[in-house]
């Protein structure tokens, strides 16, 4: 998506450790007009899928997922990072390793919000090694619901997450795919 690539080139900052900082428009300060364009594009890409719910993970996925959901006219559920897992049987739980924080979280969704009748679109800001998306798929499968697809704003194509998900037959649509980036020069190359 040209508009998004231009914005990443203009405002993205490449950090050491293969981190792209986009906190001026995506995951700290949020450009809601841009999110709306991303939502339009996801709707176009997944128009053939019977999506009735969007699933994301807190925190940075929530804002994007909410604007995207307005284009699908469906609710958003966000998986919560739990400090302690309450094993009362009312929650689906999984573990997700955070790429940016290098720690593992227990992540939960209430069973009442994810059922076998659900056809889910997963939305997240970044795809790196795929831990977050795989954790969300695990929750969806625990509920017997269907993964209709995965919509990602920025995929770092030089990390393995996207390749592994596509090899499993999961439909992954990323609005920008970064082929390479260099924290010394700041250069970002996109895959087309």
Q: How far is the CB of 60 from ligand 5GP (least distance, A)?
A: 5
Q: Is residue 132 involved in binding ligand 5GP (CB under 6 A)?
A: yes
Q: Which is nearer to ligand 5GP, 20 or 51 (CB)?
A: 20
What is d(CA 29, CA 20) in angstroms, rounded to the nearest whole number? 15
161 binds ligand 5GP (CB under 6 A): yes
In DSSP terms, 96 is beta-bridged to 105
**Sole window of 104-112, 125-133, 166-174, 183-191 interacting with ligand 5GP (rule: CB under 6 A):** 125-133
Binding segment toward ligand 5GP, per CB under 6 A, in 2-10, 121-129, 143-151, 167-175: 121-129
> Should residue 19 be labelled a site residue for ligand 5GP when binding is judged by CB under 6 A?
yes
CB closer to ligand 5GP out of 19 and 34? 19
Instruction: Write out the E strands in 28-136.
Output: 53-57, 76-82, 91-97, 104-110, 119-127
Binding segment toward ligand 5GP, per CB under 6 A, in 39-47, 69-77, 118-126, 141-149: 118-126
* Closest of 63, 137, 60 to residue 100, by C-alpha: 60
Three-class secondary structure of residue 136 per DSSP:
helix
Least spacing, CB of residue 19 vs ligand 5GP, in Å: 4
Q: DSSP class of residue 150?
A: E
- Please state whether 57 falls in left (phi above 0), alpha (psi between -120 and 50) or beta: beta
Interface with ligand 5GP, residue 64, by CB under 6 A = no
Alpha-carbon span 31 to 45, nearest angstrom: 21
Applying CB under 6 A, among 130, 149, 151, 157 the residue interacting with ligand 5GP is: 130
Backbone phi and psi for residue 72, each to the nearest 5 degrees, phi listed first: -100, -10
Q: Residues in the site for ligand 5GP, rule: CB under 6 A?
A: 19-22, 27, 60, 99-100, 124-132, 161
């Amino acid at each position: 998506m040209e508009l998004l690539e231009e914005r990443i080139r203009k405002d993205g900052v490449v950090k050491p450790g293969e981190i792209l900082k986009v906190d001026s428009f995506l995951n700290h300060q949020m450009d809601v007009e841009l999110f709306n364009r991303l939502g339009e594009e996801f709707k176009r890409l997944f128009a053939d899928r019977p999506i009735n719910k969007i699933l994301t993970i807190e925190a940075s996925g929530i804002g994007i997922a909410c604007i995207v959901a307005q284009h699908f006219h469906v609710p958003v559920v966000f998986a919560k990072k739990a400090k302690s897992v309450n094993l009362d049987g009312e929650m689906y739980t999984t573990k997700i390793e955070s790429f940016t924080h290098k720690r593992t979280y227990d992540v939960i969704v209430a069973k009442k919000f994810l059922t076998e009748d659900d056809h889910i679109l997963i939305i997240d800001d970044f795809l790196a090694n795929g831990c977050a998306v795989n954790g969300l798929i695990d929750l969806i499968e625990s509920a017997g619901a269907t993964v209709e697809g995965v919509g990602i704003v920025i995929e770092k194509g030089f990390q393995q997450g996207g390749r592994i998900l596509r090899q499993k037959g999961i439909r992954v649509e990323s609005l920008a795919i970064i082929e390479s980036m260099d924290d010394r020069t700041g250069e970002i190359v996109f895959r087309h």
